[in-house]
Amino acid sequence: MENTPAIEKFTSKDLVTDQDVRWCPGCGDYSILKQAQTVIPELGIPRENIVFISGIGCSSRFPYYMETYGMHSIHGRATAIASGLKASRPELSIWIVTGDGDGLSIGGNHTIHILRRNFDVNILLFNNEIYGLTKGQYSPTSEEGKVTKSTPMGSVDHPFNPVALCMGADATFVARSMDRDPKHLQSVLRRAHGHRGASFVEIYQNCNVFNDGTFEAFTEKSSKKNEALFMEQGKPLVFGENMDKGILLDGFKPVVVQTGNGISLNDLWIHDEHDRVKANILSRFFDNPGMEHHLPRPFGVFYTEDRYCYEDRLEEQIATMIQKKGEGDLDALLKGRETWTIN
């Protein structure tokens, strides 16, 4: 509706609101906010065209801290609200902030449906494997046997693998990052924005109050190199203290190999984010780091695909109908096809 001729530049400072940030000190959400505030000014979007929509949870407080348009909605429904907003205002840059409970439990249905419809939005799912705001119950991403306030004997639930779930929902952009790696998170946010379609980004986020250290194997210096696999398009899948370990695909079975001794980088699995089959395999790199012979956890873009966006087709249908029938004429519509006159 509104068209701004020249985009007014703004900085990350301009994205800070006058509201006090109310997350616990040390919470991973701070870093994610900071990275978003760093990246967004570079994207060339007029600030007034940016909208952050969230559900309910600690993570969902996010919009209050972003000096853009925003809505802090109800539990699980940010994706559904964003769908309606994007359908009616395709030119807006819409960012959804949700949690593992918000987006995968109460709002799980809307998450899979927005992905298959492929609205051009960015979905940031802050996964802390816990319900933070309600003070520490297990979530649909908590590991089996998780002992929390609501599961003193350990949770019975088998957890979701969010990336695999989104692959299953035919998402057109699936990525994973973490709060503790600002550079990586920034690059993934840029990629998510650059993708036309629904971009799903799972962000490992530490809840230092109710689930401290869940991701530490991937985020802490001491173990990160061995446990986190950073995928880069067109590059071999390598990791390890000296980047000397790699992934090799034996049929459909991924195996960890030591490079050198006859195995060169060229023999390794070369990451291709357009390959759905391989992305599905990568999404299943979901072993517990404590396990013997486990695979490392991938970070970066798993998969991306070009597919029409829902809102585009919606506009096309309107254009087609106008071409066929002409712009709607209200009087003709009210009159209908058959009338009669009473004198």
Give yes or no for residue 55 binding Mg ion (CB under 5 A): no
Q: Are strands 245-250 and 253-258 parallel, antiparallel or unpaired?
A: antiparallel
Closest CA to 210 of 26, 75, 21: 26
Give yes or no for residue 131 binding ligand TPP (CB under 6 A): yes
Shortest distance (Å) from residue 22 CB to ligand TPP: 12
> Are 285 and 295 in contact, with CB atoms under 8 Å apart?
yes
* DSSP codes joined into one string, 199-263: EEEEEE---TTTSTTTTHHHHSHHHHHHHEEE--TTSB-EESTTS-EEEEEETTEEEEEESBTTB
Give yes or no for residue 299 binding ligand TPP (CB under 6 A): no
> Are 62 and 16 in contact, with CB atoms under 8 Å apart?
no
Question: Whose Cβ is closer to ligand TPP: residue 52's or residue 230's?
Answer: 52
Which residues between 248 and 287 bind another protein (CB under 8 A)? none
Which residues between 77 and 136 bind another protein (CB under 8 A)? 77, 80-89, 91-92, 109-110, 113
Which residues between 134 and 193 bind ligand TPP (CB under 6 A)? 134, 139
> Are 95 and 53 in contact, with CB atoms under 8 Å apart?
yes
Residue type, 324: K
Report how many residues bind another protein under the rule CB under 8 A.
Answer: 63
C-alpha 155/C-alpha 137 separation (Å) is 10
> Are 111 and 101 in contact, with CB atoms under 8 Å apart?
no
Question: Whose Cβ is closer to Mg ion: residue 188's or residue 203's?
Answer: 203
Give yes or no for residue 210 binding ligand SF4 (CB under 6 A): yes
Residue type, 203: I
C-alpha 50/C-alpha 70 separation (Å) is 8
Among 23, 95, 204, 302, binds ligand SF4 (CB under 6 A): 23
> Are 213 and 26 in contact, with CB atoms under 8 Å apart?
no
Query: Which stretch of DSSP H or E encloses residue 169?
Result: none
Question: Whose Cβ is closer to ligand SF4: residue 27's or residue 309's?
Answer: 27
- With CB under 5 to 8 Å by kind, the binding choice for 208 among another protein, ligand TPP, ligand SF4, none is ligand SF4
Q: Where does this chain touch ligand TPP (CB under 6 A) — which range of 36-44, 99-107, 113-121, 300-308? A: 99-107
Token pair of 100 as six digits: 């593992």
* DSSP codes joined into one string, 263-284: B-GGGSPBP-TT-HHHHHHHHT
> Are 39 and 184 in contact, with CB atoms under 8 Å apart?
no
Shortest distance (Å) from residue 192 CB to another protein: 19
Among 100, 120, 181, 311, binds Mg ion (CB under 5 A): 100
- Per CB under 5 A, residues contacting Mg ion are 99-100, 128
* Contacting positions for another protein (CB under 8 A): 1-2, 4, 8, 17, 19, 46-51, 53, 56, 63-64, 66-74, 77, 80-89, 91-92, 109-110, 113, 314, 317-318, 321-322, 324-328, 330-331, 333-336, 338-343
Residues within the interface to ligand TPP (CB under 6 A)? 56-59, 75, 99-102, 126, 128, 130-134, 139
